[in-house]
Amino acid sequence: MNKNPLDMTMAEARSELKRLAKVIAAANSSYHTADAPEISDAEYDRLRRLNSEIEAAFPDLKRADSPSDNVGAEVAEAFSKVKHDVRMLSLGNAFEDTEVDDFVGRVRSYLGHVGPLAFTAEPKIDGLSLSLRYENGELVQAATRGDGETGENVTHSARTISNIPHHLDNAPDLLEVRGEVYMRHDDFAALNERQIEKGEKTFANPRNAAAGSLRQLDANITRSRPLAFFAYAWGALSEPLATTQLAAVNRLRSLGFQTNDLTKLCASAQELITHYKSIEEQRSTLGYDIDGVVYKVDDLELQRRLGFRSTTPRWAIAHKFPAELAWTRLRGIDIQVGRTGALSPVARLDPVTVGGVVVSNATLHNEDYIQGRGNKGEEIRDGKDFRVGDWVQVYRAGDVIPKLADVNLAERPDDAAPYEFPTICPECQSPAIRDDGDAVRRCSGGLICPAQAIEKLKHFVSRGCFDIDGLGNKQVEAFFGDPELPVKEPADIFTLQVRDADNGLKRLKNRDGWGDKSTQKLFAAIDEKRNIPLNRLIFSLGIRHVGEAAANLLARHFSSYDKFIIAMDEATDRDSNAYQDLIAIDGVGEVFANSLVTAFSATSERASIDRLTQHLNIQDVVQADTGNSAVAGKIVVFTGTLEQMSRAEAKAQAEAAGAKVSGSVSKKTDILVAGPGAGSKATKAAALGITVIDEAAWLALIAEE
């Protein structure tokens, strides 16, 4: 049949590439237009592989319409959602050397590890993460990180990146390679020059340029943008790559990926910091942007044991480079009202470049900060306050919102007056109150405050919450003020379609920015989210102190909305069992519990929640893969010293097996795991007739299927 590409002449290769381009394009279009594709999937894959092999042997002959760059099917799928088999996580940050010591200390104490412990240290590339999926050695899909669980399909773009292999030899059958797409400084400068020549917009920095180039529908444009890829991690795998981080990355390199040469194995916090300093010194000569150094536990078995906290691994951390600074003029102070009513002062500045990014707004935190006082009332900046007209220093660390750090009093205009923090809400004129011990002044208007209502809605539709396609901040703002089809609270989103159909006035599809298709799509996206997991619902309500991790905790604890809401009603009485139960959940404190219970007992807020839940089908929490576990659903308390593992690891392991870990013994406790030195909890458990076991028995129990 086909000749081995390595035995082909130039002429043969050229004509074979031409034939393949045609056959594969025909197969792509028949795949799309007809129900029955003309060739089998296996044959299709073989043709594509042959095409890649010839291109590898004769790189100069690669055609402009090469099938390896883009496929009809892929472009049609461009930006469609891709659910990651293995979540794509972010990293916790460290800024100070002491935080690196803390990280190493935390790893050791979690593992109860005293012997030698190795870490890798490597540059943190300032680009965008990408996951490349290879099946049987062929690149089949590329996806962005998105919210970590679901990203966007960018296969068509990824194929144009020259150092991403389309084909791998001797790779696991299934291999997801993860890494960073970035743009080199020289390529970035040249791209901006070309953009200027063409009269098109320039990019602010290499990272934005890389992002804009990857999210391109037209693969020809992406190809003209000089992107590159560093591999540093992996997702789903059919077999392990190696037993250590370093060996796994080396394996990726031998498969043909670019990996970072500055990766080094270190044996202590001190060695990590030394390598960090060395990378920092080389930073300006690397030719690409980095914003820190990433440390990872080298042993992959230890990585597995360490596992994750809600969105970040326990086994890795990013040690960021120090913030960048610049001086400029403070032109004004505006107050923004957030979703929980917090009044946040924002500095309006003469635009200034800080570390390559133009900054014209910065946070001023709260009224004490403006006056030169810290959170505990202590003096900061030698007590100097900020005044409109001041010459101020802007500070920016990585992605963190820029803040005002300092002021030069010698440059203060004579007429600059101390700033008076408002005591009424600038949005709804309700009193803005500062509770004892709270650094923040809050609008007391609740849902009558339009700013709070709108911010709550924005939170509600955001990623991690209801995440409704086609309903972002812009649309929320437009609907909020819409006289005919207003959306003032979450429930209104779910009545939009019915109200639109009833509406004798102008239909949504006939409005500016909307059409038949986009309206249908919006209604479909809303309908899709009528089914919502309990944890997402709780997080979406935007209750103060109830973040994503807390919502997960509550959902796991109560498992169904019915049980949750009954508990909330009962817990209004602080002496009730329900309230005691709530604060006994490991990880729930009084502040959190009070905020939660208050939200559910405040009549207008509660009514708004009840109006919303009528439209929803709230899914119970399914305990993942723990159905068979002997401890699934059981409430467990640990006390005394554990000898095999730390308390933190024991807790994570118990939760992974479907148990709930509580901090105190009550009638509801199922098992007390008591190590040496157990005291009052063991006595109480015995009195209540609760099963008390030792650590060995516990380990045997969770090992049972």
Q: Which residues are catalytic?
A: 124
Contact segment (CB under 6 A) with ligand IVH among 119-127, 405-413, 467-475, 526-534 equals 119-127
Residue holding tokens 């963190």?
400
91 vs 567 by CB, closer to ligand IVH: 91
Pick from 54, 231, 316, 571 the residue near ligand IVH by CB under 6 A.
Answer: 316
Answer yes or no whether residue 303 interacts with ligand IVH by CB under 6 A: no
- Report the residue from 124, 396, 544, 651 that binds ligand IVH according to the rule CB under 6 A: 124
Scanning 113-180, the segments in alpha helix (DSSP H) are: 155-158
- Of 184, 227, 221, 258, whose CA–CA distance to 78 is shortest? 221
275 scored as a contact of ligand IVH (CB under 6 A): no
Q: Supply the minimum distance, in Å, between the C-beta of residue 279 and ligand IVH.
A: 11
Phi–psi pair at 447, nearest 5 degrees: -70, -15
Please say which residue, 94 or 362, places its beta carbon nearer to ligand IVH.
94
* Contact set for ligand IVH, span 224-243 (CB under 6 A): 232-233
Among 74, 122, 152, 581, binds ligand IVH (CB under 6 A): 122
Confirm if 674 and 639 have CB atoms less than 8 A apart: yes
Q: How far is the CB of 482 from ligand IVH (least distance, A)?
A: 37
| Main-chain dihedrals φ then ψ at residue 476, nearest 5 degrees | -60, -45
Which pairs from 240-247 meet CB under 8 Å and 24+ separation? 240/300, 241/172, 241/175, 242/300, 243/299, 243/300, 243/301, 244/118, 244/298, 244/299, 244/300, 245/120, 245/296, 245/297, 245/298, 245/299, 245/300, 245/303, 246/120, 246/298
Residue 55 as a binder of ligand IVH (CB under 6 A): the answer is no
Part of the chain binding ligand IVH (CB under 6 A), chosen from 60-68, 118-126, 491-499, 689-697 = 118-126
In whole angstroms, what is the distance from residue 324 CA to residue 355 CA? 6
Closer of 125 and 362 to ligand IVH (Cβ): 125
Residue 396 engages ligand IVH in binding (rule: CB under 6 A)? no
Q: Are 300 and 244 in contact (CB under 8 A)?
A: yes
β-strand partners of 142: 132
Find the distance separating the first CA and the last CA of the chain, reported in whole Å: 53
- Contact status: 84 vs ligand IVH (CB under 6 A): no
Cβ 472 to ligand IVH shortest distance, Å? 22
By beta-carbon proximity to ligand IVH, the closer residue of 230 and 419 is 230
Q: How many helices (H) and strands (E) does the chain have?
A: 26, 26
In 3D space, the residue among 428, 394, 178, 186 whose CA is nearest the CA of residue 288 turns out to be: 186
User: Which one of 4, 9, 90, 238 is in contact with ligand IVH (CB under 6 A)?
Assistant: 90
Find the binder of ligand IVH among 20, 50, 54, 89 (CB under 6 A): 89
Nearest residue to ligand IVH, scored by beta-carbon proximity: 129
Of positions 66, 129, 144, 160, contacts ligand IVH by CB under 6 A: 129
Instruction: Check binding of 318 to ligand IVH (CB under 6 A).
Output: yes
Q: Is 289 a binder of ligand IVH (CB under 6 A)? A: no
Q: 92, 110, 124, 117: which is closest to 297 by C-alpha?
A: 117
Structural tokens at position 662: 């509580």
Q: Which is nearer to ligand IVH, 184 or 668 (CB)?
A: 184
Please give the backbone phi and psi of residue 413, each rounded to the nearest 5 degrees, phi first: -65, 150
Q: Which residues of 193-228 are buried (b: 16+ CB within 10 A; e: fewer)?
A: eeeeeeeeeebebbbebbbbbbebeebeebbebbbb
Least gap, CB of 120 to ligand IVH (angstroms): 9
Shortest distance (Å) from residue 249 CB to ligand IVH: 9
Decide: 497 and 503 in contact? Cβ < 8 Å.
no
Q: How far is the CB of 259 from ligand IVH (least distance, A)?
A: 9
CB of 353 to ligand IVH, least distance (A): 23
Nearer to ligand IVH by Cβ, of 96 and 704: the residue is: 96
Q: Which CB atom, from 125 or from 551, has the smaller least distance to ligand IVH?
A: 125
CB of 534 to ligand IVH, least distance (A): 26
Total binding residues toward ligand IVH, as defined by CB under 6 A: 15
3-class DSSP state of 297: strand
By CB under 6 A, is residue 398 in contact with ligand IVH? no
Q: Measured from the CB of residue 408, what is the shortest distance to ligand IVH in angstroms?
A: 34
- Which residue number, 319 or 660, has a Cβ lying nearer to ligand IVH? 319
What type of residue is 282?
Q
Residues 143-172 that bind ligand IVH (CB under 6 A): 145
Three-state SS for 360?
strand
The minimum distance between CB 553 and ligand IVH, in angstroms, equals 21
Query: In this structure, how many other beta carbons lie within 10 angstroms of the beta carbon of residue 406?
Result: 17
Interatomic CA distance for residues 149 and 167, integer angstroms: 26
Q: Which structure tokens are listed for 702?
A: 């969770």
Contact segment (CB under 6 A) with ligand IVH among 117-125, 185-193, 207-215, 497-505 equals: 117-125
Q: Does 183 bind ligand IVH (CB under 6 A)?
A: no
330 interacts with ligand IVH by CB under 6 A = no
233 versus 642: smaller Cβ distance to ligand IVH: 233
Other Cβ atoms within 10 Å of 58 Cβ, number: 19
**Residue ranges in contact with ligand IVH by CB under 6 A:** 89-91, 122, 124-125, 129, 145, 180, 232-233, 294, 313, 316, 318
